[in-house]
A = this chain, B = another copy of it.
Amino acid sequence: MTQVKGGNTMLLGSVEAGGTKFVCAVGNEDYRIQDTTQFPTTTPKETLQKTIDYFKQFPDLKAISVASFGPIEIRHNSPKYGYITDTPKPGWSNVDFVGTLKQAFDLPIYWTTDVNGSAYGEYVLSTLFNQKINSLVYYTIGTGVGAGAVIDGKFVGEIGHTEMGHIRLKRHAADLDFKGICPFHGDCLEGLVAGPTFEARTGKKGKDVPLTDPVWDIMAYYVAQAALDTTLMFRPAKIIFGGGVVSEAFLKKVRAQFKDLLNDYVEVGDLDQYIVMPLAKNNGSATVGNFALALKTYLN
């Protein structure tokens, strides 16, 4: 049994449901983590049971927010609301995630995508850091690519969640022969810049490809296009890039290419403040977002 410090504060639950691992945490209304655990994503039955067992340790829990890998059903008027739908991950298609938690807990449960959770966390942190912004878009570039958009505290997406990782891009002249690795679309954004593209292009893992290698310029060209299209379609206050592929040195390249592509067409302010790494360190954005969404759900 895990002891929680400061027993008088409100306890909120966070589930980051990733395709590789689950990270569960409890925290307070000030978004601080009080306790956390993680375990590999195995079968739905086993993994959801571990999730339930973890939160059962905290009888004072007020609400839980889940930021899940997808695709997921987020429309409240759908009979499949709360489900993971047609995922390529074996065994996880058509799994009633929220329903399973609801059977174990008589608590409000918030349900959104992993990237929406992260986007919301960055939105909340921006306010805490005294940045007066009302909109942002958060991209993660790792094993896959996804993004979430928050405008005025709400997620963008009416008939389902966004899937910005799969937009199409102008191909780089030096990369025309690369077919891309997305099983659905070939050379969409994910197919061109997800982590595994390093092995597909160079035979080496991304971490073993020095930043001086021209493949990084090709990557930056595509990520800059994603930032450009995001700018033209949302005019958000900032665009955040997180995930294993992203570093500050890489974003420097992205900003330079973005500047060329935009050609001063619209104003975005200081580029160093506009295209940025997450405020939360160690991929912690989603946990903060979950605490904030759990709190919001509890208060409504």
Contact = CB atoms under 8 A, between A and B. Distances in A.
A269 B159 CA distance: 9
A235 B187 CA distance: 21
B235 A267 contact: no
B185 A263 contact: yes
Contacts of A235: 156-163
Nearest to A222: B168
Contacts of A129: none
A159 B267 contact: yes
A234 B233 CA distance: 9
Interface residues of A, number: 44
A232 B162 contact: yes
Interface string A215-253: 000000000010011101111110000000000000000
Contacts of A171: 170-171
B166 A168 contact: no
Contacts of A160: 235, 266-267
Interface of A: 71, 133-135, 149, 151-152, 154, 156-171, 184-185, 187, 225, 228-230, 232-237, 261, 263, 265-269
A260 to B, nearest CB: 10
B71 A266 contact: yes
A154 B234 CA distance: 12
Given A228-B168, A261-B168, A266-B71, A233 B236 contact: no
A157 B156 CA distance: 12
A167 B232 contact: yes
- Assembly of this chain: how many copies? 2
A265 B233 CA distance: 21
A164 B232 CA distance: 5
Given A159-B267, A171-B171, 17 more contacts: A71-B266, A133-B158, A149-B233, A156-B234, A157-B235, A158-B236, A158-B237, A162-B233, A163-B232, A163-B265, A163-B266, A164-B232, A167-B228, A167-B232, A169-B169, A170-B171, A233-B234
A268 to B, nearest CB: 7
Contacts of A149: 233
Contacts of A156: 151, 233-235
A180 to B, nearest CB: 10
A101 B168 CA distance: 42
A208 to B, nearest CB: 29
A139 to B, nearest CB: 11
Contacts of A167: 228-229, 232-233
Nearest to A231: B163
Contact of A225 (B161, B163, B168): B168
A233 B161 CA distance: 9
Given A229-B233, A234-B233, A235-B161, A166 B269 contact: no
